Amino acid sequence: MRPSDAHRGAGAGQRGAGPLDAANLTVARALSPRRAAEVRAALQMAAGAMAALYLATILGLPHPYWSVISAIVVIQASVGGGVLNVARDRAIGTVSGALVGAVVAFVRPPGMESMALGIAISTAALAFLGTGRPWLKVAPVTATIVIAGGTGTEGPASLALDRVMEILVGSGVGVVAILALFPRHARQAFQIQAREAAGEAAVLLALVSRGDPADATEISRWHADLKRRLDALGQAAKNVIDLAGPQRETADRAALARAFWRVRSDIVILGRGFQSEGAGPRLGPWSKDAARAVERLEALSQGRAVEPMGPVDQTLALSMAVEDDDMALGAAAIGLAHMHRDLDDLAERFADLKLI
């Protein structure tokens, strides 16, 4: 049975389930680690937004909503990028934009034409300097607000100072919300991504090693799915915040993502052998060895420890392919030799990071 058939069978079973089974399935999904991570992210966002609003109001800042917006942007970074980097970049960009905006607002003569020219020049200059510098991304926005708003009773200096304080308060609240409220969220998200990547790699390797040309479309789809999963895993690795202390764990997370990419490359090489026309019958021993790798990937996806693959058996070594001048066998031999090494490395990374 193909994996897609299994999924369809499971879906049919769910459609035929009774009300009690459906209710149990709903509860199981609601209590899954992914749902728990989503709940934590929602609570972080709500608490951070409220805290930023109250703190900015207590400090007497004139526009508390800017603090709320900054807190939201920083908290969202825990899902889409490095939170500390985003907070730092937003603070530096705000200060830079406020300084530029204040200088332009002071030196420009009165009038709409000079305001428009000042905004055009300052935003163009900041955009030029900000190319490739993410910490200046928000600077043109802040400069525009200070130049345009500096004509009021507050004056450009006061407006610039207020904007800097509002952004710093919001960014600080966002970082505290990530660190103080459910700080394990990013680690758990990384764990989920790593295990799901192992499961998808297992399905893909099982399909490839079957050597059935009819699986070509399904294999392409799973390759694309695994690539997206590994991209998400690499991003999840960056999202985990490590404070002062040993940094080995951070390096291991990045190394685990790289090990997954090597395993995917091994599967590509194996596909060139197993998917060659007519190669299936003579690659039986290599297919059995690939099945061992599938079992280990499945175990990793379930959080279970695995025995090392160890060196590849000499009867499956590349020398046989050289002697027979068999390109399909050569691809299978090379792919499995690399798979033994890379899968053992992947399993060690899982153990080091306590993912199993």
On whether residue 239 sits in a domain, the answer given is yes
Q: Under 8 Å CB-to-CB from 100, ≥6 apart: which residues?
A: 122, 125, 126, 139, 143
pLDDT band at 263 (very low <50, low <70, confident <90, very high): very high
The structure tokens listed for 127 are 């955009």
Domain co-membership, 68 together with 203? no
Domain co-membership, 81 together with 171? yes
The structure tokens listed for 263 are 């395993």
Ranking 9-13, 101-105, 334-338 by mean pLDDT, the lowest is 9-13
Share of the chain above pLDDT 70, in %: 74
Domain co-membership, 94 together with 234? no
Say how far apart CA 345 and CA 259 lie, in whole Å: 7
On whether residue 311 sits in a domain, the answer given is yes
Task: Say what the pLDDT of residue 58 is.
Answer: 92
On whether residue 105 sits in a domain, the answer given is yes
| Overall average pLDDT of the 94-106 stretch | 86
Looking at 134, 157, 179, the residue that finishes a domain is 179
Domain co-membership, 239 together with 328? yes
Ranking 56-65, 181-190, 340-349 by mean pLDDT, the lowest is 181-190
Ranking 111-120, 147-156, 162-171 by mean pLDDT, the lowest is 147-156
Task: Say what the pLDDT of residue 97 is.
Answer: 84
The structure tokens listed for 305 are 């420890």
On whether residue 2 sits in a domain, the answer given is no
pLDDT higher than threshold 70 for residue 185: no
Looking at 127, 160, 179, the residue that finishes a domain is 179
Domain co-membership, 168 together with 253? no
- Angle 37-228-7 from CA coordinates, rounded to 5°: 80
On whether residue 25 sits in a domain, the answer given is no
Q: What is the largest CA-CA distance in the chain?
A: 88
Range ranked top by mean pLDDT from 49-53, 131-135, 187-191, 264-268: 264-268
Domain co-membership, 288 together with 334? yes
Say how far apart CA 198 and CA 306 lie, in whole Å: 13
Ranking 77-81, 267-271, 276-280, 299-303 by mean pLDDT, the lowest is 77-81
The residue among 347 and 29 whose pLDDT is bigger is 347
pLDDT higher than threshold 60 for residue 22: no
Task: Say what the pLDDT of residue 8 is.
Answer: 39
The structure tokens listed for 245 are 């202390």
Q: Taking all residues of the chain, what is their mean pLDDT, rounded to a whole number?
A: 77
First to last CA, the chain: 28
Range ranked top by mean pLDDT from 128-132, 153-157, 203-207, 288-292: 203-207
Task: Say what the pLDDT of residue 6 is.
Answer: 41
Task: Say what the pLDDT of residue 31 is.
Answer: 46
Domain co-membership, 76 together with 151? yes
Say how far apart CA 344 and CA 347 lie, in whole Å: 5
On whether residue 10 sits in a domain, the answer given is no
Digit-coded pLDDT (tens) for 288-341: 888 999 999 999 999 999 898 888 777 666 655 555 666 777 788 888 888 999
Domain co-membership, 226 together with 338? yes
Task: Say what the pLDDT of residue 91 is.
Answer: 83
Give the 3-state secondary structure of the chain.
Answer: CCHHHHHHHHHHHHHCCCHHHHHHHHHHHHCCHHHHHHHHHHHHHHHHHHHHHHHHHHCCCCCHHHHHHHHHHHHHHHHHCCHHHHHHHHHHHHHHHHHHHHHHHHHCCCCHHHHHHHHHHHHHHHHHHHCCCHHHCCHHHHHHHHHHHCCCCCCHHHHHHHHHHHHHHHHHHHHHHHHHCCCCHHHHHHHHHHHHHHHHHHHHHHHHHHCCHHHHHHHHHHHHHHHHHHHHHHHHHHHCCCCCCCCHHHHHHHHHHHHHHHHHHHHHHHHHHHCCCCCHHHHHHHHHHHHHHHHHHHHHHCCCCCCCCCCCCHHHCHHHHHHHCCHHHHHHHHHHHHHHHHHHHHHHHHHHCCCC
Domain co-membership, 89 together with 118? yes
Specify the number of domains making up the chain: 2
Say how far apart CA 179 and CA 287 lie, in whole Å: 47
* CATH (domain of 321): 1.20.58
Domain co-membership, 117 together with 256? no
Domain co-membership, 102 together with 219? no
pTM over 0.95, yes/no: no
User: What is the residue range of 319's domain?
Assistant: 186-352
